[in-house]
Structure 1
Amino acid sequence: MPGVGPQVPYAGVPGMGYVYSRVHRHIQSLSVLWIAYAVWSVFQWAIAMSFFSGAFGNYFGHWHHGPFSDFPFTHMPWIGPVITITLIGRAILYVITGIGLSRRAPWARVLAIVTAFLTLIKLFLGTALAIYTLWALMPAASGEEYRQMESNQPLL
């Protein structure tokens, strides 16, 4: 395959017929990074929610004054739960992507590409992870390498 780069035969397990390619070198780190990004997203939201509950709740005690003395969205009490459910859904998607890639599931490459496109707008960490995923898995040669890996991978 032209343009794929140097391919060294994989000699780790006898009978494995695929070559040690770019996808093979990056698939494990991608799976770990997607799972870590899910944990990071939930952690960020937990920190933000604790700040918002203190800033917009009855944090100021009986004085109840200051720049954030009253929640500005009192007419929308559903906004916090909706954001939380959306974030947890995204985190579940990230974990499924990471586990699928680590198990080399046939659907995991497509899911990782779709998840990467959905994550492109999450500035800095999400954008970097999405670009890394697209760089490793998007080219047609990567699709062939992934199919070759999944066909030779024993089920876990």
Structure 2
Amino acid sequence: MSTFTISPDYGYVILAASTTFIMHFVHIGNVGKYRKLAKVAYPKAYAPESRTDNEAHLFNCAQRAHSNFIENQVSMLGALMLAGIGFPKTAGALGGAWTVARYLYMTGYNKGGEGGKGRYRGIWFWLCQAGLVGLAAYTGVSMILA
């Protein structure tokens, strides 16, 4: 049986993971705010397409930003935890940057606009996420080859 020791620097990874949980609550509050303004009752996830008013559009943008966050958070966290085994500080930095990018994505999307293009200001979360996936894979390969 083999064992390994987790570096105290792994705390950066845990801290970065924690920021994503906080960001999730920010998304929940954001969607709730726009839901109230648009007067969209539960359990409706989105305003109906028949509504063309700005409040409905902004609610749909906020809801879509939240959905995109949820779609990506799980795989990002997995990659963060695995990458952090070999590269705790780098993984922690990429994880923290991912959360900042997700905030910018959300606030940009909240501005509405044609096709929600404001989200592009935070689209660089993909670079952080790809870096984490690459580091996770590299960590696995290096463990096998060691």
TM bucket normalised to smaller: 0.3 to 0.5
| Greater helix content | 2
TM-score of the superposed pair, with normalisation by structure 2: 0.43
Higher Rg: 1
TM-score of the superposed pair, with normalisation by structure 1: 0.41
